[in-house]
Structure formats: structure tokens, C-alpha cells
A = this chain, B = another copy of it.
């Protein structure tokens, strides 16, 4: 796929002294108000104007987090930025800068890295963050991307995971499960392609799902919306690993229980339809699927009027006393304990 999609190829070793990063970042602009010095010194120099700084980092590994057989490099660059910005929004903060490091093997020509950077540049532009540093290295195999995002917020605005109280409403933005089902569709097409390389997949019926997988958007709109609604959530987290484990994170941090109502989980019609086609239970995939990059938060019951009828938000449950545990209340009114999805030998702390 990599070879097919590239017209010309420049070997990285042909670049000479002028520097790969210099070449890849030469069009990057910085915002002088927030970034006093970007790329080109030992470190970048940033100004947060007296606000608190928030920082998060994510590592994406080829063969673990992405498959270049169906993930175009431009999309990968874009998504790698989204994954980090989503963590900043989940603090109710505004991302300001990112650093981008990667290790690549020789099979990647310069044009492939230009594609990757085009996606990073697009994300940085649309989300108004400066690319202020990074590091590049050769790799003995595959592509590894490490991004760190910095943001800022007034201390009073910052929302942690640990502030939920029993009785608070559990709310989610957008809809869930689409990114995971987009991945299932892409995996199926990859298998078809292996058997018959001439086949032309018709992904049109799955366009929403595939886009949620390949080009997710972080919820940039939500922190300003909270401010305009004069609403501060009591706790918040972004949904990267599936609803179930995120609810467990909020409950454990806040020392509460939770009841999640199956019938309230917001699903796009395309998710319902593709779950029928794949004969997968839609609740299972929202609980365990991941990569939705929506925000999950809790609010005091008294704040319900502020979000009522707002199409961005769906109340999906409420927090309970810690000793009541964490449960899914099914459509049949059964109470099933929430469990984190299978542990993948690796875990992320932020």
C-alpha cells in the first residue's frame, strides 16, 4: 500500500545535511503570542500567560495501533494529533503546542514522511496548535510516533477524573461505537483484498464509520460550549478505550459507583445497521470498542437544565455510592457488573 500510493521516492539518506525535520517543518507557522520559540533551538519556549499548563503524551506503534495497509499516512498523522488533543479537552483545557517525534525504517521514502507531516500540519492548523519540537530517528523495523501535547487553562476551569459525586448525571458527547465498526469494515476489506487484489471495495455505505476510524476529530467544541453554558463538569475523561473502562476510571478516581442505562447509549444508525450485518451486539462494542474520542463527564443534577435538549449531549446514567458498584442496566432491566475490556499487556496512565 505504501509503495502503491507513492509516485516519486526519495531515500532519506539522499537528503544530505539540510535536515529532515527542517525540510518537513519548513512551512509550519507558530503563534508568537503563545510560542516564543518553536523548532530550531535546544528547546521551545512557551508562554501560558499565568494559566496552568496541562501536558499529555501518546505513543503510536505500527502493527499495534495502526496498520498502514488501510491507514493512509496523512490520516495517521492527523489521528496521532487528535489522540493527544482529546486528552487536553478532557481536562477542559485548550491545547496550544505539540511536539512530534518518530522513528522510521528505511522502507519509508521522504515522500511518505511528507504525507505523515501533511496530516500533522492539517491537524495543527485546524486545531490551532503550534508544532514546537520533536526528534527523528531511524528504526530497525516499522514506524513509531510519539506526540506530546501542551495546553493551558485557568486553574478553576480544570476538570479532573476524581470530582464525581453520587447522584451526579453521567453524560456523553456525540455517539459511540462507530470508530470500532469502521475498523471491522476495513479489516474485512483487507482480507478480501488479500484473496482478490483486483476487487474494488465499495465503502460508501460505511463512510461515516470509516471516517470515524481513519479521521477522528477531538471535541474542540466542548470546552467553549461548557463555558457558554456556564457549566463545569464534576469529572471528565475522554473515550479512547471504550465506555466501560472509562466509566470505571471515573468511578475509581471519584470513589463512586455508577449505573449506565443500555437504552440511553447514543448510536448512529450506521452503527446499528453494520452491527446487524456483522452480527455483533452494539452495546458490547460501545462498552469495549474504543477510539471514539468523545468526552464522558458527570454533572450535578441541578445543572441538568443547562444540557437538556442539547444535541451534543446524552445523559446515559448516574453516579451512585461506591459500595453499590458499577453496573449496566440492560433494556430487559437486568443489572450486569461493568468490567474493563481485556487487558492488552500495556496500559496508559493518562
Contact = CB atoms under 8 A, between A and B. Distances in A.
Interface string A1-25: 0000000000011011101111001
A90 B42 contact: yes
Given A52-B47, A346-B12, A62 B140 contact: yes
A46 B350 CA distance: 14
Interface in A327-350: 340, 343-350
A340 B17 contact: yes
A271 B300 CA distance: 67
A103 interface: yes
Nearest to A91: B43
Contacts of A52: 36, 45-47
A73 interface: no
Interface string A145-156: 010111100010
How big is the A interface, by class? Answer: 35 or more
Interface stretch (A93-101, A114-122, A208-216): A93-101
A63 B347 contact: no
Task: Tell me which of A137, A150, A158 has the highest count of chain B C-beta atoms within 10 A of its own C-beta.
Answer: A137
A331 to B, nearest CB: 28
A54 B64 contact: no
A150 B345 CA distance: 29
Interface stretch (A127-135, A192-200, A257-265): A127-135
B91 A41 contact: yes
A217 interface: no
Contacts of A63: 140
A141 B162 CA distance: 37
A190 interface: no
B59 A349 contact: no
Contacts of A48: 48, 53
A29 interface: no
A71 B150 CA distance: 32
Contacts of A102: 59
A31 interface: no
A236 B39 CA distance: 15
B59 A146 contact: yes
Interface in A22-81: 22, 25, 36-37, 39-48, 50, 52-65
10 contacts: A13-B345, A40-B161, A41-B253, A43-B87, A45-B155, A57-B133, A59-B102, A134-B350, A135-B350, A137-B346
Interface of A: 12-13, 15-17, 19-22, 25, 36-37, 39-48, 50, 52-65, 86-88, 90-91, 93, 97, 99, 101-103, 106, 132-142, 144, 146, 148-151, 155, 158, 160-162, 236-238, 253, 340, 343-350
Given A21-B348, A57-B99, A61-B137, 16 more contacts: A15-B343, A21-B347, A25-B349, A39-B349, A41-B161, A42-B87, A43-B350, A44-B56, A45-B54, A47-B52, A53-B53, A53-B150, A61-B103, A62-B140, A135-B348, A140-B141
